[in-house]
Amino acid sequence: MKLIIAEKPSVARAIAPVVGANSKNNGYTEGNGYIVSWCFGHLVGLLYPDDYCGEWAKKPWNFSQLPMIPDNWKFKVSKDCREQFDILKSLLNDGRVEQIICATDADREGECIFRYVYNLSGSNKPVKRLWVSSLEETAITQGLANLKDGFEYNNLYDAGFSRAKADWIVGMNGSRLFSVRYKNPLNIGRVQTPTLAMIVKRDKDIKNFVKQKFFTVDLNLGEFKAISECIDNENKADEITVICNGKTATVADVNKEIKTINPPKLFDLTSLQRQANKQFGYTAQQTLDYLQSLYEGKLATYPRTDSEYITDDMEQTAIDVSNSVANTFGFTVVGQPNIKRIINNKKVTGHHAILPTVNIANTNLNELPEGQQNILKIIALRLVCAISEPHKYESVKATITCENNSFSASGKSILQNGWKSIETDDDTNETKLPNLTVGQTFEYVVAEKSEHFTAPPKAFTEDTLLSAMEHAGQEEYNEETEKKGLGTPATRAGIIEALSKHGYIERKGKKISATEKGTQLVEVVPEEIKSAKLTADWEMKLQQIEHGEYSAYSFMNEIEQFVKNICTTYAIVDNSGKFTNNTSSLGKCPKCGGEVVKGKYGFYCKSKCGMFLNKVYGKELTENQLKNLLDGKEISYISNGRKTTVLPEIIENNYNGKTNYQWKTKK
Give the model's confidence band at 601: pLDDT under 50 very low, under 70 low, under 90 confident, else very high. Answer: low
Phi and psi angles of residue 239, each rounded to the nearest 5 degrees, phi first: -65, -45
pLDDT at 349: 78
pLDDT tens per residue across span 269-294: 999 999 999 999 999 999 999 999 99
pLDDT at 477: 45
pLDDT tens per residue across span 402-456: 999 999 999 999 999 999 998 755 455 778 999 999 999 999 999 999 999 999 9
- Could you tell me if 385 and 372 are in contact, meaning their C-beta atoms sit under 8 angstroms apart? no
Residue 67: cis peptide before it, omega within 30 degrees of 0:
yes
DSSP, res 356: B
Helix axes 154-182, 532-546, angle to 10 degrees: 160
pLDDT at 261: 95
pLDDT at 12: 95
Percentage of residues in the chain having pLDDT higher than 70? 90
Closest residue by Cα to residue 358 from 199, 136, 188:
136
Q: Is 443 helix (H, G, I), strand (E, B) or coil?
A: coil
pLDDT tens per residue across span 106-135: 889 999 999 999 999 999 999 999 999 899
CA angle 164-165-171, nearest 5°?
A: 90
The number of angstroms, rounded, from the C-alpha of 515 to the middle of its chain's C-alpha atoms is 20
**Dist CA 605 CA 650 (whole Å):** 17
What's the burial of 74, exposed, middle or buried (CB within 10 Å: 0-12/13-18/19+)? Answer: exposed
- Which residues are CB-neighbours of 655 under 8 A, at least 6 positions away? 590, 591, 611, 661
For range 570-589, the mean pLDDT: 76
DSSP, res 551: -
What single-letter amino acid sits at 302?
Answer: Y
- What's the longest Cα–Cα distance across the chain? 98
- Could you tell me if 61 and 186 are in contact, meaning their C-beta atoms sit under 8 angstroms apart? no
Percentage of residues in the chain having pLDDT higher than 90? 77
**Partners of 406 in the β-ladder:** 401
- Per-position b or e across 493-522, b if 16+ CB within 10 A of its CB: bbbbbbbbbbbbbbbeebebbbbebbbbbb
**Dist CA 84 CA 97 (whole Å):** 18
pLDDT at 14: 94
> Does 290 participate in catalysis according to the annotation?
no
Phi and psi angles of residue 52, each rounded to the nearest 5 degrees, phi first: -85, -50
For range 2-21, the mean pLDDT: 95
Please count the CA atoms within 13 angstroms of the CA of 395 that sit on its side-chain side.
8
pLDDT at 648: 63
Domains observed in the chain: 2-161 (3.40.50.140), 162-207+459-570 (1.10.460.10), 213-262+391-453 (2.70.20.10), 269-386 (1.10.290.10), 587-666 (no CATH)
What single-letter amino acid sits at 557?
Answer: N
Say whether pLDDT at 299 is over 90.
Answer: yes
Pairing of strands 127-129, 99-103: parallel
Helix axes 192-207, 462-471, angle to 10 degrees: 120
Least confident among 27-41, 154-168, 399-413, 619-633: 619-633
User: Which one of the listed residues 157, 290, 302, 637 is annotated catalytic?
Assistant: 302
Most confident of 181-185, 547-551, 606-610: 547-551
Closest residue by Cα to residue 499 from 536, 460, 473, 533:
460
Say whether pLDDT at 387 is over 70.
Answer: yes
268: enclosing H helix or E strand: none
